[in-house]
């Protein structure tokens, strides 16, 4: 009607508000062609009655904004993915398959990131990973307490179940190459910064240095205009800084890079006051590492303690590489802004207690890309913040409870040696092992037994009391 058209004209478009036995590693804190849409391409937001509640108005506006996104003339939506790890590779592949013009920028194509390298069984099938990139299939684990009491874990695993151990340089390259085969353009470059758009539908201008093998080590400075950006550039994300995503606590992980199907986890104040040390098997070496948030300056001391605890098993090994990398401890305060979204480590998707991040990185990259493909109708329309917010809502609903539970477990059981002794004792319980592995391997909440849960609670309390009594006796002997 004339009245409705008049109201539409009075409103602006809405934007939703290796051959060695040992190895070590640690982590530190730390288009051109985009055209402005013509007025007849833009559908303005219809009037929302003031009688609606604030939440109702917000919901109505957000839905309408996505539907009002203009169609793109004579081109596809263009999205840049910054970072070529599991998050970036999975995102770029999904975007390219969905009809999006995709550019992936990664500086270190052969990056060997200091990482435990464990992936759950469900990731192999869900991301169609070839079995030959899995170096080891871990079917047995030992959890070792501060007093060196070892508990065998893995008794509940079925014959076909295992934890996959991968090298990040192999996994990351495979995912990038698969994205390229799907149609993504992969650039060996260093992302520097981006200019934010002045208008709601203006492009993001990316500044980066491209290394093409012809310009030498200095590379060539270039710019690029895109419609949207996915930040998959790790814990020290420059994309996150560009949108003011805020800081987060981080762990420092230190890893040195003959265990065939066995992995070990060490807990205790000597190896980490708030995390754990690990010995994980790789292709032709083992990774010996540890991490901490609260005592980053002592990381080398903790690393040495982890090696000392495992010295009988790695005796004669040679340290072939020492690596460092920051590990985020919780999601960033802000994970999206307009047409920019963060995924993987850049978003802070690493679980407490276990320190797992590979699966969640790849999953978040895929989920974010799926939201862009859906919102843009396979690259035919411009997107806005409401489209990206669907990714965050789905992610939080699916995985946020897992992060909260593991955060609680870390606060309860990693706070003192008596608590760690109780934790290791608890890990020996077959019911605990079954629940833990079912949840980890398949990324689903395993249904428990109320009776077994009650027994577990009683046993845990008993373990804590026994561990505290043991500590008091040890303190008396030391006096």
DSSP 288-351: EEEEESS-GGGHHHHHHHHHHHTHHHHTT--EEEEEEEEEE-S--S--EETTEEE-HHHHT---
Residue 415 to residue 421: CA distance in whole angstroms: 11
Which residue has better confidence, 113 or 347? 347
> What are the CA-CA distances from residue 209 to residues 107, 149, 220, 313 (Å)?
9, 52, 5, 45
Mean pLDDT computed over 135-139: 89
Residue 277: pLDDT above 50? yes
The angle formed by the CA atoms of residues 428, 432 and 437, to the nearest 5 degrees, is 105
Residue 93 to residue 79: CA distance in whole angstroms: 12
The angle formed by the CA atoms of residues 251, 252 and 258, to the nearest 5 degrees, is 110
Which residue has better confidence, 38 or 360? 360
* pTM for this entry: 0.74
What is the predicted pLDDT for the residue at 62?
Answer: 37
Per the CB < 8 A criterion, the answer to whether 36 and 268 are in contact is no
Integer-rounded Cα Rg, in Å, for the chain is: 25
Which residues 6+ apart lie within 8 Å of 404 measured at CB?
A: none
For 329-439, where are the E strands, in sequence order?
336-337, 340-342
* Maximal C-alpha separation, the chain: 90
Residue 192: pLDDT above 90? yes
What is the predicted pLDDT for the residue at 51?
Answer: 38
Mean pLDDT computed over 278-302: 76
**Range of 270-274, 332-336, 403-407 with top mean pLDDT:** 332-336
Residue 299 to residue 326: CA distance in whole angstroms: 12
Residue 117: pLDDT above 60? yes
Which residue has better confidence, 232 or 114? 232
Residue 228 to residue 93: CA distance in whole angstroms: 16
Residue 433: pLDDT above 90? no
């Amino acid at each position: 009607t004339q009245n409705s058209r008049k109201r539409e004209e009075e409103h602006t478009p809405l934007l939703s508000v290796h051959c060695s036995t040992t190895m070590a590693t640690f982590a530190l804190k730390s288009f051109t062609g985009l055209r402005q849409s013509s007025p007849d391409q833009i559908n303005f937001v219809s009037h929302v009655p003031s009688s609606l509640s604030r939440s109702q108005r917000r919901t109505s506006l957000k839905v309408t904004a996505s539907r009002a996104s203009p169609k793109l003339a004579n081109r596809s939506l263009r999205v840049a993915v910054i970072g070529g790890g599991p998050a970036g590779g999975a995102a770029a592949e999904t975007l390219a398959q969905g009809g999006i013009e995709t550019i992936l920028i990664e500086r270190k194509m052969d990056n060997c990131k200091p990482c435990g390298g464990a992936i759950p069984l469900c990731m192999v099938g869900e991301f169609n990973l070839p079995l030959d990139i899995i170096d080891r299939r871990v079917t047995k684990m030992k959890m070792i307490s501060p007093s060196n009491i070892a508990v065998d874990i893995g008794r509940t695993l079925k014959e076909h179940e295992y934890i996959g151990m991968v090298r990040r340089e192999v996994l990351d390259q495979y995912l990038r190459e698969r994205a390229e085969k799907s149609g993504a353009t992969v650039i060996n470059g260093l992302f520097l910064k981006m200019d934010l758009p002045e208008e709601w539908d203006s492009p993001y201008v990316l500044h980066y240095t491209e290394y093409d093998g012809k310009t030498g080590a200095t590379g060539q400075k270039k710019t690029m205009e895109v419609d949207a950006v996915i930040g998959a550039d790790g814990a020290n994300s420059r994309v996150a800084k560009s949108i003011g995503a805020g800081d987060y606590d981080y762990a420092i992980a230190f890893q040195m890079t003959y265990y065939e199907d066995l992995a070990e986890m060490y807990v205790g104040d000597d190896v980490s006051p708030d995390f754990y040390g690990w010995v994980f098997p790789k292709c032709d070496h083992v990774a010996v590492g540890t991490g901490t948030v609260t005592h980053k300056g002592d990381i080398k001391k903790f690393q040495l303690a982890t090696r000392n605890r495992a010295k009988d098993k790695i005796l004669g090994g040679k340290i072939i590489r020492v690596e460092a990398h920051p590990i985020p401890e919780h999601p960033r305060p802000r994970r999206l802004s307009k047409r920019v979204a963060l995924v993987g480590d850049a978003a802070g998707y690493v679980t407490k207690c276990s320190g797992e991040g590979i699966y969640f990185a790849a999953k978040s990259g895929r989920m974010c890309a799926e939201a862009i493909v859906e919102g843009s109708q396979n690259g035919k329309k411009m997107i806005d913040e409401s489209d990206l917010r669907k990714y965050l809502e789905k992610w939080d609903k699916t995985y946020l409870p897992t992060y909260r539970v593991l955060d609680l477990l870390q606060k309860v059981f990693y706070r003192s040696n008596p608590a760690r002794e109780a934790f290791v004792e608890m890990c020996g319980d077959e019911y605990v092992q079954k629940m833990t592995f079912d949840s980890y391997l398949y990324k689903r909440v395993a249904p428990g037994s109320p009776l077994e849960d009650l027994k577990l609670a009683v046993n845990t309390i008993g373990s804590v009391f026994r561990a505290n009594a043991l500590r008091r006796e040890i303190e008396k002997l030391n006096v």
